[in-house]
Amino acid sequence: MSRSYYQPGAQRAAQVEDLFAGIAPRYDLLNDLQSFGLHRWWKRRLVALAAVPPGGRALDLCCGTGDVALAFARRGIPAVGLDFSQPMLEVARQRTRRLARPGRTLPVEWWQGDALHLPFPDGHFDAVTISYGLRNLADIPRGLAEMYRVTRPGGRLLVLDFGKPQHPWWRAVYFFYLGKVVPLLGACFCRNAPAYAYILESLQHYPAQAGVTAALRELGCTEIALHNILGGAMSIHCAVKPAQGSN
């Protein structure tokens, strides 16, 4: 397990793209195994917190195999899922085709693109979400700024990701699980332990709950709410882009 996928700076994106290209076929299986299936509930909660109004639309960044964008679409909310990994997007497209029914097309589009340079105009979406992707960006403040830019005034920005528990013993147990057990699952089911060792490595460099809250506040977001899950092992940030003319 000598290879490290975590690289600071400009090399970060290439390493992360290589990582996800390699694990795309079994990404969903490993998510279920390492989270005991709970990630599905956390993503449903994220979608509910987005509170997209009737006629609104959502953007899910770093969408991976499409869980969140498809969850919006199943609710009848037009959604765009954007990711830079073509193999992950292909899995998302396959899932969409399997879920389609005669006479019913899910309102979802899949775009390949860079979360740091979004190909959308200002204020285009009623909600912008990112799940387990913010840690992977080479420039986290820029990624949040792009989310803010394409969110309409009064819309919501939401971030779901791994967290850093405050309680010392729970953090130690949790980091042991991420550092030892999760890479073992990666080795057994993907033959790629380093790809799953990356989770803890990236988390150690991630600003997590306090840092993301501060960054959202710096952007000018209001109604910033932090929802800690499993004692802070996971967290959801939910914030509002102020309506035009509000203070």
CATH number of the domain where residue 14 is located: 3.40.50.150
In a domain, 171, yes or no: yes
In a domain, 246, yes or no: no
**Domain range enclosing 200:** 9-240
Which of 38, 34, 32, 90 has the alpha carbon at shortest distance from 64? 90
Give the global pTM.
0.90
In a domain, 4, yes or no: no
In a domain, 3, yes or no: no
Number of structural domains in the chain: 1
In a domain, 13, yes or no: yes
pLDDT (tens, 9 = 90+) of the chain, 247 residues, equals 445 555 565 565 666 666 677 777 778 888 888 999 999 999 999 999 999 999 999 999 999 999 999 999 999 999 999 999 999 999 999 999 988 777 778 999 999 999 999 999 999 999 999 999 999 999 999 999 999 999 999 999 999 999 999 999 999 999 999 999 998 988 887 777 777 888 898 899 999 999 999 999 999 999 999 999 999 999 999 999 998 755 4
In a domain, 247, yes or no: no
In a domain, 245, yes or no: no
In a domain, 2, yes or no: no
